[in-house]
Structure 1
Amino acid sequence: MIESKRVKIYPANKEQMENQIVAEKDPELKKAYKEMLQGCIDHPDLWDWYATEAASLAIKWAFNHPEVKSVEAETDFTNTASQKVLEKCGFKATGTMGEEGPRYILYREEV
């Protein structure tokens, strides 16, 4: 899990989020989780903002480990939204292709 003052990130699919909502005892959190899930479903146009903040947190977490000198990522070659997120976060295209598509890298000294 990665977190900031405003965001706590952990991977969850729709079914896992629905299970979290059912299990939540606090009515305010239950309401918030429902709104978040519905918002993600209804507004995929906002995913870029969430993705940028999530990627930024992951980068921060990685570079908090002194042994990490760079962070690499790759996207599907047709996923221009994810490529833009990486570029917003400072990643540069390496010019190579990975299993998923184009590879990107961000060096510690560039942050």
Structure 2
Amino acid sequence: MVWGLLVLAGLEEVVATIAMKYVNGTKKKLPLIVMTVGFIFSFYCLASAMQVLPAGVAYAVWTGIGSIGITLVGIFWFKEKLQFSQVISLFLILIGVIGLKMSA
């Protein structure tokens, strides 16, 4: 249950970050609302997970999911290019997240 909350928090962070890319000052209201609600929900789920998991583990997994998630969105949605060194670095983040899950 708590790991599900943590994954949900990470995925919601990705959604909020995507919305952030579309915010243009205060001209576009919907992306601003999605971003704000998304981050509030993400922080709520993260805080709930931290009630059970160690703070460092929860935060590292949350940021790892967010980093990998928004990178994948950048590649497939925004057509951003990825260098080989970035792929290796993201792979190391993934290994770290898996290791934290297995050790917690």
TM-score by length of 2: 0.34
Higher helix proportion (structure 1 or 2): 2
Q: Which has the larger radius of gyration?
A: 1
TM-score by length of 1: 0.33
Higher strand proportion (structure 1 or 2): 1
Higher normalized contact order (CA 8 Å, seq sep 6+, divided by chain length): 2
